Chain A
Amino acid sequence: MYNTSELRFKGTQVAYYLICHRKLWLFTKGISFEDESDYVELGKLLDDTSFSRENKEGVSYEPVSIDFFSTENGLVVHEIKHSSALEPAHILQVKYYIYYLRQKGIKVSHGIIHYPKSKKLLKVELEEQDNELMQEVFKNMDNIIKKDKPPEVINKAYCKKCAYWEYCYG
């Protein structure tokens, strides 16, 4: 079992695991070039005392994403994304948030990913078998991060939109 006190990954890292191992490695080693402020780090938010005040909607992180919580039958985690192109990564990221919060003893009901551009909502649940999946993901992430060289460039279409594009291809 993965030790929860070692739950040290940020949501974006979990998403990067599905998007690009190279990006995960570089980001984790602190090698970044563009301003990453587009990304809301839920990790930061979780440490925030404001969290204990329930139903605190509209936690706003300018300029791009506004991620927030609401309560239903427990806490609902909301994540806002521009495009659903990387949906599997977004889903894993939200599952991770739910997993993380539950490990901390917080009652979470589910997550919702908002794609405002396409007016789409996606409900994300953390099922029983997902716990195993998360273990697997953590283990793999650890192995990637432990490598002493960054993994290779992946040559995907979405590289062009990645903040590392000039770095990887230049």
Chain B
Amino acid sequence: MGEVYYITTSGTLRRDENTILFENQDIKKKIPIENVSELFIVTEVSTNTKFFSLLSEYDIVAHFFNYYGYYIGSFYPRESKLSGHLIIKQVEHYLDKEQKLYLAKSFVIGSIINSEGIYKIDTKEHLEALKQASNTQEIMQVEGNFKKLCYKALEELTGWDFEARTKRPPQNPLNALISFGNSLVYAKVLGEIYHTPLNSTVSYLHEPSEKRHSLSLDMAEVFKPILSEGLIIELLKSKAITEKDFLEEAEYCYLNAEGRKKFLRAFDDLLKSTVYHPKLKRNVSLKTLIRLELYKLVKHLTGEEYYLPVNYHSLKR
């Protein structure tokens, strides 16, 4: 099993036999393909089809971000793990209103319980409202209301201004961090889905038409509080990231190259950090925790066990 590689300096990416060759004026680096499990390309690169066919051959997902760290999309090689049986189950759960609601609510419950551990907000009322929700719009509304509280708490915890959540483009540093963090989580979850028989396009909370890999949006809800917001709080509180790490242009605000590097390093460290898994009776990395969460979804779909989102803060470190 290889490593996740993050490419943060511009250059060209090419295939050289069975290695990835990265090159610019200053560096020439070869990475044997066996060492690579996934790629995050968080800068501008030029490349060619041969590079993609190499990724395809080795089942490697690559995520692309533009010069400003804005997520462009992912190269998702042909899926070799898909299961016709499971796709039918996924679709059945989408078409059945009750089943669809169950899963949609589960992802939001995951988001709420994992946010609770970070912001220490009282969640009772929101969980109750969620129970009452009878369609996706109502669920989204509950989530929206809850998120507003979270973002307020985020401002208080970090001392950074948030104002309104502005997405495209982000207009202040905190928004820029959230956009970047959330898209990393989305991409990471997608990278894990690829290695399961789940079809990434059939989703329950988000509409399958919303984005190509909408199942990743669904599952990312469970992990965003941990892998994005929690990380941002840590980076700002410890002053690992400061004003200097941002780039402000007119009304746009982005992490600059240095800031992005810091964020990615912390993100990778967090994914590698471990928690004790009571059922497996061993420590697992947060990356594995994402994978296990997807396995639980598979079990739900095959009718073995109801899916209940992981409560991250209840796991021992």
Contact = CB atoms under 8 A, between A and B. Distances in A.
Interface string A5-31: 000000000000000000000000111
A167 B86 CA distance: 15
B91 interface: no
Contacts of B288: 166
A32 interface: yes
A79 B304 CA distance: 35
User: Taking chain A's interface residues, is the majority helix, strand, or loop, or is none over half, making it mixed?
Assistant: loop
Contact of B197 (A32, A150, A170): A32
B40 to A, nearest CB: 22
B298 interface: yes
A29 B303 contact: no
B89 to A, nearest CB: 9
A166 B83 contact: no
A80 B277 CA distance: 36
B292 A170 contact: yes
B295 A170 contact: yes
A31 B83 contact: yes
Chain B: number of interface residues, binned into ranges: 20 to 34
Contacts of B303: 148-149
B280 A169 contact: yes
A170 B279 contact: yes
Interface in B216-231: none
Nearest to A165: B280
Contact of A30 (B197, B295, B299): B197
A166 B281 CA distance: 11
Given A166-B280, A169-B280, A29 B83 contact: yes
Nearest to A26: B302
Interface in B192-237: 195-197
A30 B86 contact: yes
A160 to B, nearest CB: 10
Interface string B73-94: 0000000011111100000000
Contacts of A166: 280, 288, 291-292, 295
Interface string A145-156: 000111000000
Interface in A129-170: 148-150, 166-167, 169-170
Nearest to B291: A166
Interface of A: 29-33, 148-150, 166-167, 169-170
Given A31-B85, A33-B295, A167-B299, 11 more contacts: A29-B86, A30-B81, A31-B197, A32-B197, A148-B303, A167-B298, A169-B279, A169-B280, A170-B279, A170-B280, A170-B296
Closest 3 CB pairs of A and B: A30-B83, A29-B85, A170-B292
18 contacts: A30-B81, A30-B82, A31-B83, A31-B85, A31-B298, A32-B83, A33-B81, A149-B304, A166-B288, A166-B292, A166-B295, A167-B298, A167-B299, A169-B280, A170-B277, A170-B279, A170-B295, A170-B296
